[in-house]
Amino acid sequence: MSLNLHHLDKRTRRLMLDELVYDQVRLQLHISPYLSGQGVHDYPHLLQEAIAKYDEKWLAARLNERRRIERTHTRRKPKGGYTIAAVPHNAAQVIADGEFNRYYIRGLCRRAIADKIDRLIVYRARASENPRPSSSRMESRTISAKSLLTDLQRPSRAGGPRFGIPAGPNSSLSVRLPQLPLAA
């Protein structure tokens, strides 16, 4: 099921692409450990193409092609050491959903700032049968566009987002512009 991103239009896509360039220039593009060598090589161009013309479903389909996703990965054991584990069957979709939504949110933050809209509204962009309680508590809250953008521009190695949006792998939390009052 695809994400329902309310304001995914040419303007937002252009701002998303600007945010992708921001990360590339700073060498902070997040590269999933589930990507193979081929996946690491192809990912920046595929992400750029998805943002410019397609969506997260297209990106996931491309990541599932040409051995771009590893079959196994090294995982740390709780009591120390490492083990080899299978990569989740939906790894490409999780990567695509998460990163596409992350750039969408960043683009929308920039759009709101440019339009002098201070706050965005958190919503669930995809239905969930068993939503995380922390995600459910976030729905319908408002959040500062400037603060959220700053948070999501931090390198991924600096930890997860402070505001919890998006809320980690398989999160469907996103943001939207507030409803503008109707002209009288």
**DSSP character at residue 157:** G
Closest CA to 15 of 105, 83, 117: 105
The predicted model scores a pTM of 0.92
Mean pLDDT of 131-135: 80
Is the per-residue pLDDT at 134 higher than 90? no
Q: How far is CA 27 from CA 31, 63, 64, 123, 162, in A?
A: 11, 21, 25, 30, 21
Element (H, E) at 12: helix 10-25
64 confidence band (pLDDT: 50, 70, 90) = very high
Q: How far is CA 29 from CA 19, 144, 165, in A?
A: 10, 23, 18
Peptide bond connecting 166 to the previous residue in cis, omega within 30 degrees of 0: yes
Is the per-residue pLDDT at 183 higher than 80? no
15 strand-pairing partners: none
pLDDT per residue as tens digits for the range 96-121: 999 999 999 999 999 999 999 999 99
Is the per-residue pLDDT at 180 higher than 90? no
Average pLDDT, the chain: 92
Residue 89: CB atoms within 10 Å: 8
Output the pLDDT for position 157. Answer: 59
144 strand-pairing partners: 119
Distance CA 40, CA 131 (A): 31
Output the pLDDT for position 184. Answer: 44
Residue 24: CB atoms within 10 Å: 13
% of the chain residues with pLDDT over 70: 95
Mean pLDDT of 135-143: 91
Give the long-range contacts of residues 124-128, CB within 8 A, separation 24 or more: 124/172, 124/173, 124/174, 125/3, 125/4, 125/5, 125/101, 125/172, 125/173, 125/174, 126/1, 126/2, 126/3, 126/4, 126/97, 126/172, 127/1, 127/172, 128/172
Output the pLDDT for position 15. Answer: 98
Is the per-residue pLDDT at 159 higher than 80? no
Mean pLDDT of 145-162: 85
Q: Where are the beta strands (DSSP E) in the chain?
A: 72-76, 82-86, 119-124, 142-144, 173-176
% of the chain residues with pLDDT over 90: 79
